[in-house]
Structure 1
């Protein structure tokens, strides 16, 4: 492991920093005089090495084929247990190649934290090279400073790295970033924090972020990938325990379903902070997690919206006056509305409430409570919505209806309770409920993540393969 000393604040001359409006977007593998990195990355042209700014005072050089850190700018390494706590400065910093040629890290107040001590040496640019070295070059192309990490043994990256403000089909982000043209919005897939984040002005987190659920295999080994049927999280290895995880849903949305085919061609970060997915004709088919037909599609994630009144499109069937409200339980209720088959009901309840086991010892348990009350017999999903008690925190309802009792898999009806989309439904097999409940109740994933993953018969099935507890291969 190679480290190169950088100088502390005392040797860093104070220069005028670019304002937020002046903050230019760096090139894919170079940083020029006057440009800065703030939660952004630079990647060599051969995609083998990435220099990343983590948002504080650290620059880290990563070897992309195995995500191994090769060099870091701070006095502490990522292998140090106290690395994150020992960092200098506070808030969100930047690393700027100043007009005097000095590469300087600043805290959020502009106080210098460290520098390369290259002021006055005619430095024109920083470059991440394909041999693994990061260099500062003068106007004659001579190396003024470098990380001394060049190697002759270069392993190609297993994926093509996205650059600039967009990701194309076949490209990925794994400890890399996309930046809006005005430099104010940065989309980062972050290995250290196990997720994908959209940062706004001054490096602050926006409402767009996705933490990989801890129950999933290797949450810190993922990458964000644009594929022919949507935006996915992929693991660093495509197979875990010989189970293909291609279809494990990702940060936002998969657009292609049997009922609604769509083949995205690019994801773009806009100057207003919107994240958009475009088709081959450049038409915007998805924005901030919503498809074109969704009411929220037209809304910018960073613009205030006028309140609109809701109109019911049809009169709901009346609920019998003697029908009680649903019980005010903390768990998501599984409501029985068909009483034709007690054995099918018992099987459904067992499959929904039994924990599911995954590799690494992780377990999903659905926080669901069966409701077996003949007062709810033959009620529709629309009628059950009228019986939801005020103040409940349920994200959805589960309904065991006649299709549940008659289907071989006993799939249940999942009913959305979100204020903006109340009443949407999809069907799911009981073994899929654990994933649905864990992720929708905690807002780790969106409704569309599951609804659009339904198979051709319209039923959502488990995304992750279960393992046998205690099996020697687990």
Structure 2
């Protein structure tokens, strides 16, 4: 599938960015090469520089950001890693079609007619001879340079970024492990003799990286310097992390996609986005109980009520709602969805896939659940994303659909959700255990056996044994209404954000050493089905080790798995 129409003629590192595009340690360079807009994860976050003089024409007042996104609504927004909006141009729903780096030195948002909707100040103009040597796209050829610019792999996953001093190779979701840091201005150049060098602005060679070669190519996971036969003579990593190109490089990166849907949902709201197969926008909305009309998302938002919209994407239907609990299982014969409950977003979205109303695949983090990930289309999609938590990209790679920001911004079918859709599906547990005053680090212990008070007193004494620099005081929940509750019931009943709790059950009361049961809250309390990826949900430990486990997990020093092992050994204090 090709990119949507708004991307026609676009090139990474070129002079413009379409609606739905994003800069993540990437650049735009004017057609003549004179001016460059560069995004940085450091401050300043977005700048416009005159490449002839080396001076900045404009510097945004945004704090450091993860990306700059031009969302479907036309607002240019700086987002941080947690999905917080840091800075924006205030141009939402004003007809913006793209962002341009112009030869006047202006970084300009323009509408369909080319008229400016927002702009930075103009520069001094060409003003004499200027030689354009800036590399663009994914390839640097002999005689080309990076001087405050970036190269991007064809699939958008990997960027070779130069900020005027330092050079980094970065892969979404991590780093490809190569960086060159310097304390003065530099230029990265593939010179006429084929050698890749870093030079100072005075022309001196700071570092000769490799060569000779004819072109430097950024591919997924690394950069390669290749000779005229295409053979790599130097590469940035010891091995190729991804051997094959992704099936659909036109699908935007996860950070850009999540920025789209955050912007459409609005601040303080979660969202649900889904792709349905074997249906139409009208049928999908009818199944959702919506009185659909031809409208726009902007008009739907004005109602102030949770809404849902549907647009055709090739043979599929893209469904979007600002209600993260939108029931989707029966909206289409096959439907794949991502739910983001946290306002603003982050890396905690829930992925699921239904066929004929039955859940066949799921990936979520809180509580932890993996189901059906060996289904061929899901398994292949997982090999193509660069981080396991990139679940919005996983959605589109699983379905093979390429979404269009322009389609989401324009006319679509949609309507306000009936009030019943605002109630999350599923029964609510009758049992709730409140733990007001819990500090998040002390050992949280729930007593479920009340037949041996003397044993409980010994357990409590062990829990209070000093650890580290001072005494320990466990947070205990002692209520006879909890007698006999299973670990699964306790997981669902506890209202806590802690990652582990401990159970004083019948085994703890009667076993040698009184081993408590440690239970992870990454588990949802339900048994694993045959097609689910199992993980260790509990293990036994001696009471005086509970504080060590609790503190280390709360600080992120160790994981539950590291303490649990295979779950068969009783853990003692180290």
- TM-score, structure 1 normalization: 0.46
Higher-Rg member (1/2)? 2
Structure with more helix by fraction: 2
TM-score by length of 2: 0.38
